[in-house]
A and B are shown apart, each in its own frame.
Chain A
Amino acid sequence: MKQIIPKITFWRVVAVIIVVAGLYSTYLRFTGGLGASTNLSDEFPWGLWIGFDILVGVGLAAGGFTICAITHIFNIEKYKPLARPAILTAFLGYLLVIFGLMYDLGKPYNIWHAIIYWNPRSVMFEVAWCVMLYTTVLFLEFLPIALEKFRLKKLLAFMKKVGIPIMITGVILSTLHQSSLGSLFLIVPQKMYPLWYSGLLPVFFFISAVGAGLTMVIFEAYLSARAFNKGIEADLLSRIGLYGVIILMLGLIIKLIDFALTDKIHLLFTINNYTLLFYLEILVGTIVPFGLLIQKRIRENRRWLYASAIMVISGFLLNRLNVSITSITPGAGVSYFPSIYEISVTLMLVTLGMWAFKFIAKNFPVFASEVHFENHNLKYSEKLSEGKI
């Protein structure tokens, strides 16, 4: 492999600045505690690191299990080229979530306590176990890609045998904890602004994660295509986009029905900052991209597809922050805005994630459409090692 000093570009300089700032915040966090590095308080104990690093991070990784289910369980084979990048995103996403959790937990060195001290009544306990188990599953799902790279044929054959049960376990674990991230908030009915509180929070979290997770696949495919100068599965991606927004629209309809059944419709006409944020969330994240992608001409246009994906992801991000931060402020009686240190750690995590994705995608057969988990052959890695690709 050629080792050359990376060219200095604008985005690389930005990335380095972000990481240096993040490292400084890391130093503050682990020498001064959460008080020195965050704007959290007794009245507002959860902030950006829970809202973004955990809730958004896990949610956007949902493309992994969704694509996995489509290709390996429902055997719709044509989507297989999307499976590996989605698995890689999910795996990195979860590693970053765990990494991010280290910042937010007051006692990160006790994180393993969830293994030995059990409280099955706690949603957080369930989330902890699902995240641990699902990260393991994602590792196992990613493993064949690494095995191909190092040409460990025997292990690869074994992985192929246990592949399907692993995939099924992964889908169940994802379903459970994507929804239980919403269940976390079921216990604070009196603290949340009613536009976001609902007994159906777990359902909403699951549906929006599936929709946004699928759309994330489009986003990363475009970024990878630019970074690696490769073609794009345009047809597959536009379909995935369509399915993504249909699922989100379905979620929105259920939400409106829930509003009607719980007498919350009038809140939609009460104009305040909460309502505005709610409208922004559903317009940017669901209604507008749905209106766009439902049109064949638009969804088959690369730029519009990409733009719609970014909208969906932004709307999703806003939804998670609205649930975990905006909706809590009236109940807490204080306002919260993340400190510059919290923001810089979050930006650093995103940057590190992108670097890791790029590095792995460059060095492992992630975008190998001719090799699959099931009917694998070693053609790709053979060609790769002979330098033909």
Chain B
Amino acid sequence: MIKQKAILFDATLCAGCGECYNACKEANHLPETTDDFLKDHLSANTYTVVEEYGDVYTRKMCMHCVDPTCVSVCPVGAMEKTELGPVIYDGDKCLGCRYCMQACPHHIPRYEWNKVNPTVKKCIMCYDRVKNGQQTACAEACPTGATLFGDRDELIKIAKERLESDPDTYYQKIYGLEEAGGTDVLIISPVPFDQLGFAENLPKEALPTYTAKALEKIPGVVAGGGVFLAAMYWLTKRKNLIAAEEKQNNMNSTSGDEK
């Protein structure tokens, strides 16, 4: 079995230097959007940002969910969860319904609002590099080791070790272990995650299970509905016929005209 790749971001190690931000821009050929990378936001031209919360820096990017909501909602399968982990996107298939943006629990996908032929933009975990056995551009560029790339289970082990060995430094939780069914971007931090702008109210279940419950009722509705409606048609038709016959029998002299 192929091992799922992941990114571990350790906020205690991040110095806010912006090397990951620059490397991402370069790897994805994205234009410069601001002089001050700390003030930048995710956009069609920025797939990852470094954010400053007091004296803690954190990163925001696509979380590459284990069972991604965007993949499940896309009507044409333009979003794809690859075996290696990265969630990638095919702009040629896309209809532009933006359900992926509406449904993403992490508020990640961005849109080219001002293009006539727009596509969805987000971090794709440097899929081309990862496919060839390389690490992501952001992990490679990180001078402090705050962003690590590797096998998901390995990174979870590392994160757990850090939380255990240094309980005073770390807030005791790995963000991404079970958020909305788990993500391939794992984050550890010195402070609770809502203080870093991460959604803390996410269910533990993968969100696609919410719609799956409705979708699995379809065959029943089709079969049951078909039988029910056909039966009703037959029964009511018959009832009307019998009623009409009785009516006919009751009035012998007058013609059978209605009203």
Chain A residues at the B interface, C-beta cutoff of 8 Å: 30-36, 40-43, 45-46, 69, 72-77, 104-108, 110-111, 113-114, 117-128, 164, 168, 171-172, 175-176, 179-180, 183-184, 186-191, 199, 202, 328, 332
Contact = CB atoms under 8 A, between A and B. Distances in A.
30 contacts: A32-B114, A34-B113, A40-B113, A42-B42, A42-B43, A43-B107, A46-B98, A76-B236, A105-B96, A106-B112, A106-B118, A107-B95, A110-B76, A113-B76, A113-B93, A113-B95, A117-B78, A119-B77, A123-B73, A124-B74, A124-B75, A124-B97, A125-B76, A127-B75, A128-B75, A183-B214, A186-B211, A188-B102, A188-B207, A189-B203
Interface string B27-70: 00000000000000011000000000000000000000000010
Contacts of B236: 73-76
Contacts of B72: 119, 121-122, 187
Given A117-B77, A168-B233, A176-B221, A187 B95 contact: no
A126 B76 CA distance: 11
Interface centre among B74, B99, B105, B221 (most CB of A within 10 A): B99
Q: Name the residue among B95, B103, B225 with the largest chain A CB count within 10 angstroms.
A: B95
B1 interface: no
Contacts of A184: 99
A126 B215 contact: yes
Given A42-B42, A188-B102, A199-B213, 6 more contacts: A34-B113, A106-B95, A121-B72, A122-B73, A168-B229, A186-B213
Interface string B238-251: 01100000000000
Contacts of B210: 186-187, 189, 199
Contact of B218 (A69, A72, A126): A126
B101 interface: yes
A111, A121, A171, A187: residue with the most chain B Cβ atoms closer than 10 Å: A187
A69 B203 contact: no
Contact of B114 (A36, A104, A187, A332): A36
A114 B76 contact: yes
A187 B208 CA distance: 7
B167 interface: no
B214 A73 contact: no
Contacts of A33: 112-116, 118
Interface of B: 42-43, 69, 72-78, 93-99, 101-103, 105, 107, 109-119, 199, 201-203, 207-208, 210-215, 218, 221-222, 225-226, 229-230, 232-233, 236-237, 239-240
A340 B251 CA distance: 65
Given A122-B75, A126-B218, A188 B240 contact: no
A107 B90 CA distance: 13
Contact of B207 (A35, A105, A179, A187): A187
A113 to B, nearest CB: 5
Contacts of B75: 114, 119, 122, 124-125, 127-128
A254 B201 CA distance: 27
B101 A45 contact: yes
A170 to B, nearest CB: 10
Nearest to A117: B76
Contacts of B117: 107
Contact of A190 (B94, B102, B202): B202
A301 B153 CA distance: 71
A121 to B, nearest CB: 5
Given A42-B43, A75-B233, A172-B229, A35 B113 contact: yes
A190 B199 contact: yes
Nearest to B114: A35
A122 B210 CA distance: 11
Contacts of A40: 113
Given A123-B215, A202-B214, A172 B96 contact: no
A147 to B, nearest CB: 22
A171 B229 contact: yes
B119 to A, nearest CB: 8
Query: Which of A36, A40, A128, A189 has most chain B Cβ within 10 Å?
Result: A189
Contacts of B114: 32-33, 35-36
B214 A110 contact: no
Contacts of B96: 105-108, 110
Contacts of B226: 168, 172
